[in-house]
């Protein structure tokens, strides 16, 4: 992690381009705007927008209240003082380690941040990260219902915290925790979005916007008395109607494996993939077409054996050629008019059709109609 040098000419007032311009993360509307701004700065990293569908319905729990929460986390064996063996979750062990990294005061935080920004002091940056690890746990707990393994969320949140420290400007008058909360949420939500399904979602800006805001916008329109339609949703969210329909279909059904048995009580039998039609013609149709083409060419060669030199020339130059000659060119070659060549070609086609009908079964079915 490299220190970001501060521009001496930069204003000390909060900038609208910085996610830290809103020091109060408690306001939900302001928080959403600042979170969106934070993701704009990491556009190259494909960080998604904030999620209403993943937002908790409960107030943020305290990290100390979650020490005994072992849901979704692996357990490791420990030995108690009395010699009795037992198990404790990895999350509990992690929470126990956090007791060694207490939060720091605002003055100490500012001093460490200045050392990091101005001097590139890595130890100062490390202390800023360690002192805010409890904030990451607090935010990660909000999304336990969206992801089973809380430690995964904490890990991604820690990456977001380090990103916040990397970009933090201590001269804007904003606490690091207020600034970092949006980066922490950004990385947690990105992780959930990238891994919640086998087929990755939210690969474009429009898809991310729909994923996080579609259901909320539907509820808002219903409260306002509107009939929820894709066209109206597309106008409100500034996306196309096709994007809205595609996301609705994606959210309405879970991922389905093509190798999954078509019937629950049947193993090793028919799968869902076996019943899916491939694009284009089937293998049987392609094989049949190739075979019919081969037989047709064989019969044409058989028909050509009894033709005169002029008729053979017309057959190969007009009927079988990929780039057939014109009637005028053949007429000049034979010393006759275009109309005479046309008459010869028509007679040749009638004879060829009669030959095919006598040699091939159901030729009328495969032959092109006179229309």
Helix, strand, coil distribution of the chain in percent, nearest 5: 60, 5, 40
Query: What is the pLDDT at residue 369?
Result: 57
Nearest to 179 by CA among 48, 44, 15, 25: 25
CB 218 within 8 A of CB 206: no
Q: Which two tokens stand for residue 319?
A: 């009927």
Q: Please, are residues 69 and 213 in contact by the beta-carbon 8 Å criterion?
A: no
Q: What is the pLDDT of residue 260?
A: 72
Are 212 and 49 in contact by the 8 Å Cβ rule? The answer is yes
pLDDT digits (tens, 9 = 90+) for 66-89: 334 434 444 444 434 444 445 678
**pTM beyond cutoff 0.75:** no
Neighbours of 139 (CB within 10 A): 23
For the segment 146-187, what is each residue's pLDDT rounded down to a tens digit? 787 889 999 999 999 999 999 999 999 899 999 999 999 989
C-alpha 367/C-alpha 72 separation (Å) is 66
């Amino acid at each position: 992690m490299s220190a970001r040098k501060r521009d001496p000419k930069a204003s000390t007032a909060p900038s609208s381009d910085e996610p830290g311009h809103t020091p109060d993360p408690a306001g939900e509307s302001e928080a959403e705007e600042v979170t969106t701004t934070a993701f704009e700065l990491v556009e190259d990293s494909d960080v998604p927008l904030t999620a209403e569908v993943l937002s908790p319905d409960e107030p943020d729990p305290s990290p100390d209240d979650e020490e005994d929460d072992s849901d979704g986390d692996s357990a490791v064996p420990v030995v108690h003082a009395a010699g009795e063996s037992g198990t404790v979750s990895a999350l509990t062990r992690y929470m126990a380690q956090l007791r060694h990294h207490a939060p720091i005061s605002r003055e100490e935080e500012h001093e460490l941040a200045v050392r990091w920004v101005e001097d590139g002091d890595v130890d100062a940056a490390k202390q800023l990260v360690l002192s805010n690890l409890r904030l990451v746990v607090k935010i990660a707990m909000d999304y336990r219902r969206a992801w089973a393994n809380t430690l995964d969320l904490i890990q991604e949140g820690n990456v977001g915290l380090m990103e916040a420290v990397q970009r933090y400007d201590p001269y804007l008058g904003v606490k690091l925790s207020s600034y970092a909360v949006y980066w922490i949420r950004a990385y947690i939500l990105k992780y959930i979005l990238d891994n919640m399904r086998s087929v990755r979602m939210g690969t474009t800006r429009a898809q991310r916007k729909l994923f996080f805001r579609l259901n909320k916008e539907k509820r808002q329109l219903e409260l306002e008395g509107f009939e929820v339609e894709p066209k109206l949703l597309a106008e409100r969210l500034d996306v196309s109607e096709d994007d809205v329909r595609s996301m609705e279909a994606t959210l309405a059904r879970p991922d389905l494996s093509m190798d999954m048995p078509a019937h629950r009580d049947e193993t090793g039998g028919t799968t869902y993939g076996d019943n899916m039609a491939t694009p284009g013609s089937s293998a049987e149709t392609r094989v049949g077409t190739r075979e019919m083409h081969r037989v047709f060419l064989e019969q044409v060669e058989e028909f050509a054996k009894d033709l005169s030199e002029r008729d053979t020339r017309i057959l190969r130059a007009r009927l079988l050629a990929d780039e057939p000659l014109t009637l005028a060119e053949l007429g000049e070659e034979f010393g006759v008019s275009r109309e005479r060549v046309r008459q010869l070609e028509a007679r040749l086609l009638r004879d060829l059709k009669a030959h095919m009908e006598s040699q091939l079964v159901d030729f009328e079915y495969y032959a092109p109609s006179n229309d």
